Amino acid sequence: MNTESEKEQFLKEFGSDYGYANAPKNIDEIRATEFKRLNDTVYLDHAGATLYSESQMEAVFKDLNSTVYGNPHSQSSCSLASEDIVGKARQQVLSFFNASPREYSCIFTSGATAALKLVGETFPWSSNSSFMYSMENHNSVLGIREYALSKGAAAFAVDIEEGTHVGESESPKSNLKLTQHHIQRRNEGGVLKEGMTGNAYNLFAFPSECNFSGRKFDPNLIKIIKEESERVLESSQYCRGCWLVLIDAAKGCATNPPNLSKFKADFVVFSFYKLFGYPTGLGALIVRNDAAKLMKKTYFSGGTVAAAIADVDFFKRREGVEEFFEDGTISFLSIAAIQHGFKIINMLTTSSIFRHTTSIAAYVRNKLLALKHENGEFVCTLYGLLSSEMGPTVSFNMKRPDGTWYGYREVEKLATLAGIQLRTGCFCNPGACAKYLGLSHLDLLSNIEAGHVCWDDRDILHGKPTGAVRVSFGYMSTFEDAMKFVNFVENNFVISSSNRCALQPRSISLPVEGIAKAAARHFLTSITVYPIKSCAGFSVDQWPLTSTGLLHDREWILKSTTGEILTQKKSHLVARRNCRLNSNPAHLSLKEMKWISKIIDMKSEVTTMRLISGSAGRLIDLALY
Ligand SMILES: *Cc1c(COP(=O)(O)O)cnc(C)c1O
């Protein structure tokens, strides 16, 4: 691809959205002066964590080195500096979300997750309450379910189908469709009593932007749920009572912070490192003051208590919303740092950041959608495209010309070699993952049964991907980042006669030219195949490659007769053990025989084990000794 003409083309299409025409520095200057540490790294994981700028950090150091910040709970003059900066920070956060301090309060937490946990912990659950959440939600939101269920409340996920228009329109849509997926109650004694729902409090949670797909959710949902729950939930027994609404803005806040003067959510959570990279370990819960009054708290602590007696069951809480929620000493030095992050965001403006990042994402989406193999088959399947507005996130999987999937791990490993940082897997969002990848409960359970966990290498199970590849963009992302990524995909995964480098099932041998060329500084010195995870492997000079790496490598796991999966971590003996086959060898292919024979060795006491093949779903009984 010719960079110049490609960029010209891009600017023709998106030029008015790309870059920051009204800012003191344009995008190329921002990148060249503020992010020198990136060098040639193409950083495309802003949904995981975005990057802090150099001047932001210089301002933080300067501030900390020139001010004496004491504990804001103390009464000294140094503590006043902290109190002052914390107060300003709260105002800054509220105004970022366009929230009036009369209506909302900013509670500092250790992150979005801690804020979500706080809501779950203090929510006024009863056995007549419901916790409803969109399928697309982060695990940290799903976890609130445990508080709801343990109090006898009902919990269910909903699929939200929106009409054609998404945006900040005034009138809530009437063509919204919610499909419920019920979760079994823990406490069946707490089954809803007719007529008892009037004063129950229910919670509805959705992300402003899905961190799996980039799908943006309509903020009108808040009003619809609060005012029209009977209609949209089709008079289900769970629709009654008072609905409070929570927005998980952890992903969406960098480009579309919820506008709380217009869309009155009760709770909004986010983390600062997703907004401007630094500090980590700090987030906030924006709570509507009226909703805060409903919350129930068990714990008292420094920070939240006005008086307590050590040996009498007596304590008195402090007054005020922040004092109700913030246990202990808040992270005041981190809080002091956020003004320097906001400075950049406010200078560029979130609307420009949104236009800039989504123009890059749209370019990548269009390019990926158009990619075809030589045989005419499309390469990429993109997720979440049906909604009309998308955030700066592109989530996808790729297929080979024969229709089999490339594993996301393979993509990730090659991306790392090419200096591209991206994210793969389910991104802590199991509902979106299952929904977009079309995985049924049965698929999910059998993947778990086969030993698949979120972070492992089993990227394809039973012929289906278990996760996706995600690239996401931040305010300092450039067209050049996007183009390098698109080139990487074209060069490595699109099969055409002119593109012999592309990965297709083939054999590698020493020395491996393709990969050695891709990373001139790296050399392949040996190939070791470990057919059984955590057991001894064997070395070869040459070995076939598959979509997931070396053929049969870590294809099998050891499971004890009690069903426990044995790994080196669980039992260090595994690594030193060897296996003998118990089942009929006639059922094994020549290749399987070959590698199993390599690991049959010495004798000692025998335990029966079962090998489970991840890809073929075959079971083989073995004696482990
Ligand atoms: C990152 C993220 C979270 C979790 O945030 P933490 O900072 O890890 O607490 C929750 N929800 C969404 C949508 C996210 O992107």
pLDDT higher than threshold 80 for residue 523: no
Q: Specify the ligand 1 atom closest to the Cα of 207.
A: 13
Give the residue whose CA is nearest to atom 8 of ligand 1.
Answer: 113
What does the pLDDT read at residue 521?
Answer: 53
Mean pLDDT score across all residues of the chain = 83
* CA of residue 113 to ligand 1 center, whole Å: 6
Is 379 buried (19+), middle (13-18) or exposed (0-12) by CB count in 10 A? buried
d(C-alpha 361, C-alpha 338), whole Å: 27
d(C-alpha 276, C-alpha 494), whole Å: 35
d(C-alpha 182, C-alpha 186), whole Å: 12
**pLDDT range class, residue 548, cuts 50, 70, 90:** confident
Percent residues over pLDDT 70 in the chain: 77
Which of these is catalytic: 210, 428, 535, 579? 428
Among 430, 409, 397, residue whose Cα is nearest residue 210 = 430
d(C-alpha 576, C-alpha 625), whole Å: 9
In sequence order, the 6+-apart residues with CB closer than 8 A to the CB of 376 are: none
The pTM is what?
A: 0.79
pLDDT higher than threshold 90 for residue 592: no
Q: Specify the ligand 1 atom closest to the Cα of 209.
A: 13
Of 108, 138, 206, 208, the residue with max ligand 1 atoms within 8 A of its CB, to mutate for a pocket test, comes to 138
Percent residues over pLDDT 90 in the chain: 60
Cis peptide before 511 (omega within 30 of 0): yes
d(C-alpha 149, C-alpha 185), whole Å: 6
Chain segment 367-378, per-residue pLDDT in tens: 999 999 999 999
- Domains in the chain and their CATH numbers? 3-48+351-493 (3.90.1150.10), 100-296 (3.40.640.10), 527-624 (no CATH)
**Taking the mean position of all CA atoms in its chain, how far away is CA 32?**
29
Q: What is the average per-residue pLDDT within 309-313?
A: 92
Of 140, 246, 276, the residue with max ligand 1 atoms within 8 A of its CB, to mutate for a pocket test, comes to 140
Q: Judge whether 428 counts as a catalytic residue.
A: yes
What does the pLDDT read at residue 503?
Answer: 46
Q: Is the Cβ–Cβ distance between 402 and 504 less than 8 Å?
A: no
**Taking the mean position of all CA atoms in its chain, how far away is CA 247?**
15
* CA of residue 277 to ligand 1 center, whole Å: 13
**pLDDT range class, residue 475, cuts 50, 70, 90:** very high
Query: Which residue is associated with the tokens 């390019």?
Result: 367
Q: What is the average per-residue pLDDT within 613-620?
A: 50
Which amino acid makes up residue 446? S
**pLDDT range class, residue 76, cuts 50, 70, 90:** confident
- Using DSSP bridges, classify how beta strands 130-134 and 201-207 pair: parallel, antiparallel or unpaired: parallel
d(C-alpha 481, C-alpha 41), whole Å: 9
**pLDDT range class, residue 96, cuts 50, 70, 90:** very high
DSSP state at residue 175? -
Q: Is the Cβ–Cβ distance between 522 and 516 less than 8 Å?
A: yes
Q: What is the average per-residue pLDDT within 165-185?
A: 59
